[in-house]
Amino acid sequence: MKALRKTVRRSFAALVPGELALVLCMAGGVRPPPAARTAVELAALALMSAAALLLCLDWRRHHRTGLDRRGAFLAAVADSVPAPVRKLTAHEISLSTSFARWVARRGPHGVGEGDVPVPYAPGQTSFMYGFLFVSIVETVALAFLIPWPLVHAITLVLDVWGCYFVIALHASCVVRPHVIGSDGSLHLRYGALLDIRIPADRIASVRQDRKFPTSRLAAVDENGVADLAVGGQTTVTVELTGPVRYIRALGRPAEARAFRFYAEDATAAVTALKAFAGPSTLTNQAGDSPSSDPAGGIHSR
């Protein structure tokens, strides 16, 4: 079983670039030999059949252990598909749904009745739109400069996808804000890349605390602190009573004892957390004394 799984994974890794090259050749007006097309199609069919057989065998094995059908299917997929691939595939799907939600102006995702959304996307708006402008200029310039049809088709597809990725990533950050639950819990997110849930009983203290970290997104430092910076800065620090486990952007598990994140209105975010959890549970160590309504101040943005 392990040998078959390794073979399927390596075959997929080799076949996908070949399929992509074949598609780009056809898009660029280059007709590959019929034998080459037939060989690629047969290899894809054989590989898909082997993957389906492996998935069925893994599903039966997990189903016999007591898992329901859905749980057995997810476990079987996890056995065969590497975590980064699963994470990136889910991210692409979430990007598309977030982009559609943003265009349709349907409001924030995952915010229930009584919850308070904490926006963070405004902190990166100028940077993201600047990056989008540069990507569009590059796409147009390369369309005029590259004379070879095949290279032109490849760069055009990659540049158009890059433009879409930039705007979809920003849209996912707009429609997926941080959320302070009505039960005092905290839901930290960064678009479709990151999703961290902190129960109310794990929150020891919260304070305004502007920092300019240089670590990667949600990477844990030697002190057990994870940073969710936006625009190169964080504005709120949450310390926990115990470690919280979460999954990083590419599927790697991590564990942190404190989180620093960016909130567009840090004062309102800290006030809302204190209001929901109660002053006996949380202490604002920065000494701020906001006077605005906690929920209204965030919803108004």
Contact (Cβ atoms closer than 8 angstroms) between residue 121 and residue 129: no
Query: Which mean pLDDT values do the consecutive 10-residue runs of the chain (301 residues) have?
Result: 65 63 61 71 75 79 82 78 73 86 87 90 91 89 81 82 91 93 91 90 91 87 91 92 88 89 93 74 43 39 34
pTM over 0.75? The answer is no
Contact (Cβ atoms closer than 8 angstroms) between residue 256 and residue 226: yes
- Other Cβ atoms less than 10 A from the Cβ of 267: the count is 21
* DSSP per-residue letters across 7-53: HHHHHHHHHHHHHHHHHHHHHTT----HHHHHHHHHHHHHHHHHHHH
CB under 8 Å to 121, separation ≥6 — which residues? 170, 173, 174, 177, 230, 264
Cα(196)–Cα(186) distance, integer angstroms:
8
Element (H, E) at 252: none
* DSSP per-residue letters across 187-200: EEEETTTEEEEE-G
pLDDT at 174: 93
- DSSP class of 216: P
pLDDT at 46: 77
